[in-house]
Structure 1
């Protein structure tokens, strides 16, 4: 049975691909979960319209992410931490701490989007990446200071 994928599916392909699968797999798994629908002439036309809407939405999300990235580049956050001997901090600076500091500045960023490449275990200035979109990443200057 030929089906059109509505969602990206690792084993089969990407959105809009027309793939050939066994009838039972399509009827019992793909179609009920709305991962795919049967490839008919009407569904192919509907898919083209759906692709246009998806492209418009993705373009809008990309534009918003780029605007937010420009604003985030201008921001620096300060994270006060408790320190021991030789300016070593207790624990590490986490994604949540940076997300909270950004929230205080007016940016509502999910902690899972913040990427800390090296663990922050001492005082200093660090650059932290924030992945806003698959193609847009912003850098936030993070100051780790004594509490």
Structure 2
């Protein structure tokens, strides 16, 4: 199906581009979500007449998203969930859960479709999640998924503490090598490296020669 894009679509095109897509993709997603129009003669004329207005609206929404991104990019959100001793959640954290959490935290108008997850989160830990605030503005937030707020605090500080400990141990080893080890050699053990070593003649006597001497 040939369509007119009403916004930038990743791997498809920019606002105003006319592209061909599979019918199912257009009917089930792009058209219902108002992300595109069928590229009919009437719609092409309509887009041309409204293109300036459409682009201004897009620019305004993009500027708003960019401003919002400044306040939440790389921000950590704590998510409390029940989990077993092995860290597996009793359930999962889904795109809908994340969208609701952001809304509860005061982030406006975030839907599950704007949350990018390969699959639901099913274990404790700190996870990076991409949020598409606008087709041209994305941010990364961190979800600290824990059973309690105390555990969340430990998860956030733990890796840094471990890293500091490792760096301290490495620095200690480096200091030892830099200081060196003083080796004292007794005068009686001095070796003249310029003197050629002469092998002990007796030590080189063969077994046959030894037998002859005894005779």
C-alpha distance in structure 1 between counterparts of 2:112 and 2:17, whole Å: 33
Match of 2:128 in 1: 127
Q: Helix, strand or coil: the match of 2:144?
A: strand
Match of 1:65 in 2: 65
Report the more deviating stretch, 70-79 or 130-139.
70-79
**In terms of Rg, which structure is larger?**
2
Match of 1:104 in 2: 104
Normalised TM-score (structure 1): 0.66
> Structure 1 residues 50, 142: closer, same or farther in 2, change over 3 A?
same
Gaps of 5+ in 2: 6-15, 19-36, 149-215
Q: Between Structure 1 and Structure 2, how many residues are aligned?
A: 118
Q: Helix, strand or coil: the match of 1:92?
A: strand
Alignment of 1:132-143 (within 5 A): 132-143=133-144
Structure 1 residue 76, shift from structure 2 partner:
2.0
Q: Helix, strand or coil: the match of 1:144?
A: strand
> Structure 1 residues 74, 48: closer, same or farther in 2, change over 3 A?
same
Structure 1 residue 14, shift from structure 2 partner:
2.5
C-alpha distance in structure 1 between counterparts of 2:100 and 2:42, whole Å: 46
Structure with the larger RCO, 1 or 2 (CA within 8 Å, 6+ apart): 1
> Structure 1 residues 13, 75: closer, same or farther in 2, change over 3 A?
same
Match of 1:12 in 2: 2
Report the more deviating stretch, 113-122 or 102-111.
113-122
Q: Which has the higher helix share?
A: 2
Normalised TM-score (structure 2): 0.47
Cα root mean square deviation, aligned: 2.9
